Amino acid sequence: MAQDGTEAEADHAYFQAIEEVFVALRGAPLLLSPTDWQIARRWHREGIPLGLIRQALEAVFAKRQERGAKGRSSSLRYCAPAVEAAWAERRELAAPGGRLDAPAFDLAGRLRALAAALPATLPDRDAVAARLTALASEAQNPQRVEEDLATLDREILAGAAAALDGAGRAEVEAVVGKTLDGLRGRLPAEELERSRDRLTHQVLRRRLGLPVLSLFSPEAEGAG
């Protein structure tokens, strides 16, 4: 069954937010697989809050560290049981029947939360925060706001790329190149090249400490 534009865009934003959390915890760039996409899409359909997913992922990675596990987890599938167990527990503690009512979609509140989550070191932070505040006051529909946020997100990352000096650019390219080298033979050449920008954005986002600018990011949803 085909998705409409709003549904597909929401799925993408949700998946991107999960990917960024996973990459940050992993400590190295990574492209999540199509199977991981399907897992995230199912979670989105079930209404699992991103805050709960982040907490479950943090717990999984903390336990790995405690055990002294070697290597890095490379798939969301490894964490899926913990996420789904946490969600089941949340539902059991909810209203009779274990059914959770969907919270009201507080568009302005989510935008304010995003503005508050901007790192203090972000170039032109005040201007970015002002743009987020303006979007909140305009009270547009969520789809239009999501499009505007995606545009702003790309602008910030493009600006960060342009501002790199020679050493910084070489560092980013080295990290991206190493990740792509590990994927050669597993992905077609054209897919590898399409993935370069996505990986570059991951590295730049980590350097900036920038949350995914999306109404569906954990920072926008809150920690709960």
Share of the chain above pLDDT 90, in %: 20
> pLDDT tens across 189-203, in order?
777 777 788 888 888
The residue-averaged pLDDT of 19-30 equals 79
Average pLDDT of the chain is 81
- 96 pLDDT higher than 70: no
Return all residues near 15 (Cβ < 8 A) that are at least 6 apart.
32, 37, 40, 41, 44
> What is the C-alpha to C-alpha distance for residues 45 and 131, in angstroms, rounded to an integer?
30
> pLDDT tens across 48-76, in order?
888 889 889 999 888 888 877 776 677 78
Q: Angle at CA 21, nearest 5°, toward 72 and 45?
A: 115
> pTM higher than 0.85 for the full model?
no
Residue 184: phi and psi, rounded to 5, are: -65, 135
For residues 10 and 131, the model is more confident at 131
